[in-house]
Amino acid sequence: MLAVTDLTVHLGGRRILDALSMQAQAGAVTVILGPNGSGKTTLLRAATGDLRYAGSVRLGGVEIAGAPLWRLAAVRGVLEQATPVAFAFTVAEVVRFGLGAGLSAGRAEVARLALEEVGLADLAERPFHELSGGQQQRVHLARVRAQVWEPVSPEGPRWLFLDEPVASLDIAHQLAVMEVMRGFARAGGGVVAVMHDLNLSAMVADRIVLLAEGRVVAAGPPEAVIRDAPLSRAYGCPLRANRAPAAGPWILPQGAAAS
């Protein structure tokens, strides 16, 4: 379980997160939503050990601050919003970095399977920098998946922390990446993703944590969070949640519509 308690983070003298508490369970996809500047990425970065923080962030019972990097790396993979690659590494080489130093029998195979999972096995030997932005992001997802290939280790569940995993993708690949997230969670791993698209979030999430101004506005299953009042309050604009038969809630923006 990811347990965040009274998390406060200051960046450049500004308080970005203010005594925030939230939880995410293994075996589920937890999506963090909120307007720009609400502290979504900061929350993710604190949870992955990138930032100093006050309060507590525990992953599988281990406090993130002060945990050895190799130990964290064995338990969770992190996909950043963008990860530029210096030098002309091939796609396969970039994915293999996720495997760490010990490239042993089954592990080499993992890199290939991870590329297959994101539908890029054909591009394995292409230079990474020749790929489109969306393809590059999928290569990095394969790298992060390779790092924590089995969703459950003998020590416990593993985790994926994803910062806007579908932001630069077309609709087909958005669905494919969301299927990767769901599959990892179904197999017992934990997924925590920062997302922007409310409708995709409602589709993929087991649980949504809605932030505004460094605090949790609402948290719970999509049906509980994707509602008119909390969304309109968090985003500061009128939003109406709708129900589709046999599907989750969906959002129709109420302003700026061409009529």
Partner 1 sequence: MTAPALRLAGDPPASPRARRALHLRWGLVALLLLAAVLSISTGAAGLSLPRVLGDWLSGAGLATRDRVILFDIRLPRLAMGMMVGAALAVSGALMQGLFRNPLADPGVVGVAAGASLGAVSAIVLGGLLPVALTRVLGPQFLVPLAAFLFAWGATMLLYRLARAGGQTSVATLLLAGIALTALAVALTGILINMANDQQLRDLTFWNMGSLAGASWMKLALALPFVAPALVFAPRLAGGLNALALGEAAAAHMGHDVERLKRWSVLAVAAAAGAAVSVAGAIGFIGIVVPHLLRLASGPDHRALLPNAALLGAALLVGADVIARQVVAPAELPIGIVTAILGAPVFLWILMRRRGFGGI
Among 1, 97, 182, 248, binds partner 1 (CB under 8 A): 97
CB-nearer residue toward partner 1: 15 or 71: 71
C-alpha distance from residue 44 to each of 9, 123, 140, 221 (Å)? 11, 30, 17, 19
Residue 28: which of 134, 127, 151, 135 has the closest Cα?
A: 151
The footprint of partner 1 on residues 128-147 (CB under 8 A) is 129, 147
CA distance 114 to 92: 10
CA distance 140 to 177: 12
Q: Should residue 167 be labelled a site residue for partner 1 when binding is judged by CB under 8 A?
A: no
Do 88 and 129 touch, CB atoms closer than 8 A? Answer: yes
CB-nearer residue toward partner 1: 21 or 81: 81
Residue 248: which of 173, 188, 178 has the closest Cα?
A: 178
Among 12, 61, 66, 106, binds partner 1 (CB under 8 A): 106
CA distance 1 to 44: 15
Among 108, 229, 247, 252, binds partner 1 (CB under 8 A): 108
Q: Should residue 90 be labelled a site residue for partner 1 when binding is judged by CB under 8 A?
A: yes
Pick the stretch among 10-18, 24-32, 100-108, 241-249 that binds partner 1 (CB under 8 A).
100-108
Q: Write the interaction track for partner 1 spanning residues 58-87; mark x where CB under 8 A is met and - where it is not.
A: -----------xx-xxx--xx-x--xxxxx
Q: Give me the phi and psi of 4, to 5 degrees please.
A: -105, 125
Do 126 and 91 touch, CB atoms closer than 8 A? Answer: yes
**Residue position matching structure tokens 């909390």:** 230
CB-nearer residue toward partner 1: 123 or 225: 123
Rounded to a whole number of angstroms, the minimum distance from the CB of residue 109 to partner 1 is 6
Q: Should residue 49 be labelled a site residue for partner 1 when binding is judged by CB under 8 A?
A: yes
Q: Can you give the binding site for partner 1, defined by CB under 8 A? A: 48-50, 69-70, 72-74, 77-78, 80, 83-90, 92-94, 96-98, 100-101, 103-106, 108-109, 112, 124-125, 129, 147
